[in-house]
Amino acid sequence: MHELSVCAALVRQVLDVVPPARAGATGRIMLRIGPLAGVEPEQLRLAFPLVAAGTACAGAMIDIEPMPVRVCCRVCGEHSAARANRLICAGCGAWQVNLVGGDEMLLASVEFLAPPRVQQRERADV
């Protein structure tokens, strides 16, 4: 269940981009995850609220874009789709391929909710 550690790393990174004035305003967190990253998107979704509770990104939505496994053949040069446990060139069947996609585990972006009016007025007072 290392998704919990990955989630803790995710929350730390999101908190780095949340300005203090926008605490609690994290709306959506967009991730890109490939099957060869070794994390289970569903487990990540389950773990997130536990780790995010009490932080500035509590209540945020996790949006995971699954990334396809792609290989580039070193023998025939063809780019093709592959299965996570069968990284074989679809063109010539060679196993001498480079992985060009499918191992991503990226924080793509963070979306904030519109700031509440009350907060804006308080800031105007200062």
Partner 1 sequence: MCDLCGCAVATGHVHVAGAQLPAASLHGASGRQVEVMRALLHDNDHQAAHNRAHFAAAGTFVVNLMSSPGAGKTSLLEATIRALRGRLSVAVIEGDLETENDARRIRALGAPAVQITTGNACHLDASMVHAALHALDLAPIDVLFIENVGNLVCPAGFDLGQHRNVVLLSVTEGDDKPEKYPVMFRAADLLAVTKTDLLAAVGDFEPARATRHLRALANAAPVLEISARSGAGLNGWIDWLVEQRARDADRTFEHAAHD
Find out whether 102 and 35 touch, Cβ atoms under 8 Å. Answer: yes
Nearest distance from C-beta of residue 124 to partner 1, angstroms? 15
Find out whether 27 and 52 touch, Cβ atoms under 8 Å. Answer: no
Closer of 27 and 58 to partner 1 (Cβ): 27
Closer of 58 and 107 to partner 1 (Cβ): 107
Closer of 86 and 121 to partner 1 (Cβ): 86
Nearest distance from C-beta of residue 58 to partner 1, angstroms? 18
Residues that bind partner 1 (CB under 8 A): 1-2, 5-6, 9-10, 12-13, 15-19, 22, 31, 36-39, 71, 84-88, 95-99, 105-112, 114
Which of 13, 59, 27 lies closest to 5 in space, CA to CA? 13
Closer of 53 and 113 to partner 1 (Cβ): 113
Residue 4 to residue 10: CA distance in whole angstroms: 10
Chain center to CA of 17: 15
What phi and psi values does residue 15 have, to the nearest 5 degrees? -65, -25
Nearest distance from C-beta of residue 35 to partner 1, angstroms? 8
